[in-house]
Amino acid sequence: MLYKTAFPISLLQYLFYTSEVALYPVVWTVNQLTSPFLISTKEDHWDLEIIIKKIVYPPLIILFLSVFGIPAIFGVILRCLLHLFRRPYVLSVEKSFHPPSINERRASISVGRLHPDGRRNSLLSKGLSKTFTVSSANLCLLPELLSRINNLPNTDHRSWKIGERIVIDQFFFQNSMNSIQSFSPVSRKNAGTSQSERTVVEPGHNILTHFPKLDFLCLQETWDRDYSHKLMSELHKVFPWIMYDVGKTNLLTNRFMLNSGLMLASKYEILDADFHPYTDSFSQCLYSSKGLLMTKVLLSSTEHHDEVGYIFTTHMQAYQGIFVDAK
C-alpha cells in the first residue's frame, strides 16, 4: 500500500504541526545558538564574530530555554503520542505530473520513465535498451548541532546545494563534462628549506562531483525533516516520485528520536513500498529507525503486460546484535 500522507486523517497531521510549532523555538536555540561552541575545521576559533557570539549567545540560550521550555515539553509529549499513528513512509509525487491510469498506460504502450522535461521515454517499449542507473549517497543531513559534531556545518545550505548539483547534472551532463578543466596542483616554496617544494591542494578546488544520468537515487541519513524537504524541492525537478520520511517511531525502535534517514527518488512510477525496521540495534543506532526500504516500480507497460522492478535500500552502517565492550 502506498501512503501519500503521514497520517491516516488530517486532524492528526494538524496536531503534529502544532507539536512542531511548540518545539521549534527550543530546537532552533539548541541548533543555532550553540554553533559558536562547535567550530568546524573550516572556521577560525579566533574570528571576531565567533568570539562575540560566544559572549552574547549563552544568556540568550538561557532566556529562550526558560521562556519556551514548557511549551516544548508539551510538544514532545504530543509528538511522541502522534508518532504511534504515523505511517512508515510518505510518497511525494510532483504536483505538475499526473501519472496515467493503468488502462491509459496500456493503451498508449507507454513506459514509466520520464525525461527531465516531463516527456515520456519510449525506448523500453521499442526494445532498444533495458539498462538502469542507480546511485547511492550518504548525506548526513542531521540537525545542525549533530552535524557540527560530525564536522559538517551549515546543513540548511548543504541540503539545498546537494539537490541543486544533482539536478544540474541531470539536465546539463554533456555540457558539464565538456567544461571540466584539467587538474593543476599549486606548488609553493617551503619556508624551511629554500630548495625543496611541496604541493598544496586547496580544499574545495578541482574536486569533481558527478552524478550520472540517474533512474533511481537512494539516499541515506536525510534525518532532519526540514532539510530533507529542501532537498526534495530540488530533486522533484527531475524525479517525479520520491519516498521520504521513512521509519517507524516508537520507544523500542528509536526512542522516539530520528527516523531511518532513507530517501528514494525515482524517474519511474512507484507502485508499492514497505519498510522493515531493524529490531536489535545498539550504540547510536538505538536512536534512529534504521531498516530496509523496499519499493516496487513500473519499468514499462504494454497492452499485454507490465514490467516491474524492485529497489531495496538500507544503510552504510547499522549496528546490530549484542554490544561487546572491547576494553
Q: What mean pLDDT comes out for the span 47-66?
A: 94
Residue whose C-alpha is closest to residue 212's, from 267, 159, 160: 267
C-alpha cell at 83: 508518532
**CB-based burial of residue 112 (10 Å sphere; 0-12 exposed, 13-18 middle, 19+ buried)?**
buried
Is the pLDDT assigned to residue 112 strictly greater than 70? no
Q: Is residue 191 predicted with pLDDT exceeding 50?
A: no
Q: What predicted TM-score, i.e. pTM, was given to this entire model?
A: 0.79
Is the pLDDT confidence value at 122 over 90? Answer: no
Residue scoring higher pLDDT (179 or 77) = 77
Instruction: Give the least confident one: 98-102, 220-224, 228-232, 252-256.
Output: 98-102
- C-alpha 170/C-alpha 268 separation (Å) is 15
Could you give the count of Cα atoms lying within 13 Å of 319 in the half-sphere of its Cβ? 12
AA letter at 133 = T
**Mean pLDDT score, 252-268:** 94
Q: What is the pLDDT of residue 199?
A: 39
Given a cut of 90, is residue 175 above it in pLDDT? no
pLDDT in tens, 13-23: 999 999 999 99
Helices (DSSP H) in 120-224: which residue ranges? Answer: 144-149, 155-171, 173-178
Give the pLDDT confidence score for residue 196 in this predicted structure.
Answer: 35
**pLDDT for 190 beyond 70:** no
Residue 107, pLDDT above cutoff 50: no
Beta bridge partners of 298: 308
| Amino acid 176: pLDDT | 52
Closest CA to 76 of 18, 141, 34: 18
Please determine, for residue 297, whether its predicted confidence score (pLDDT) is greater than 90: yes
Note whether 111 and 124 are within 8 A (CB).
yes
Cα first-last separation, the chain: 47
Query: Rounded to 5, what percent of the chain is helix, strand, coil?
Result: 35, 20, 45
Predicted pLDDT at 283: 83
Q: Which residues contact 233 (CB under 8 A, 6 or more apart)?
A: 163
Cα–Cα distance, 50 to 69 (Å, whole number): 26
Q: How far apart are CA 262 and CA 83, in angstroms?
A: 17
